[in-house]
Amino acid sequence: MEPASEGGPRHARQLYPHLVAEASLTNGPRVLLDDVLTLGGHLKASAAKLRERGHDPQFAICCGRTMHEQLENPFVVPVEELPDFNPEDPFGFGDISLDEDGFD
């Protein structure tokens, strides 16, 4: 996969199949660390991979956030809640209810 700087993937559904958890994980709380949060794809895919191995990360810390509008107070610590990524439903269709004709 090419890096994001060269247009590489940022969506969890593209990243998840390429993630490998090589080290054994000890018991205890899990916190994900990321340099910059853009769409959240890396965090969502990593959290899904950890859940697959029986560990449920509760928090993530990011050093920066891609923003398209300036914040009133850029030094405030914002808290965001990202929806979980489900590898069994990579496009999020489980949240859509369709009638018998296949329409919403």
Query: Could you tell me the pLDDT band of residue 32, with boundaries at 50, 70 and 90?
Result: very high
* Domain locations in the chain as residue ranges: 8-19+29-70
Q: Which helix (H) or strand (E) holds 12?
A: helix 12-15
pLDDT digits (tens, 9 = 90+) for 77-97: 778 888 888 888 878 777 655
Given a contact cutoff of 8 angstroms between Cβ atoms, the answer to whether 31 and 59 are in contact is: yes
CA dihedral 21, 37, 32, 2 (to 10 degrees): 10
**Mean pLDDT rounded to a whole number for the chain:** 80
CA dihedral 93, 95, 100, 101 (to 10 degrees): -50
Say what the pLDDT of residue 104 is. Answer: 47
**pTM of the model as a whole:** 0.70
Q: Which two tokens stand for residue 18?
A: 């390429």
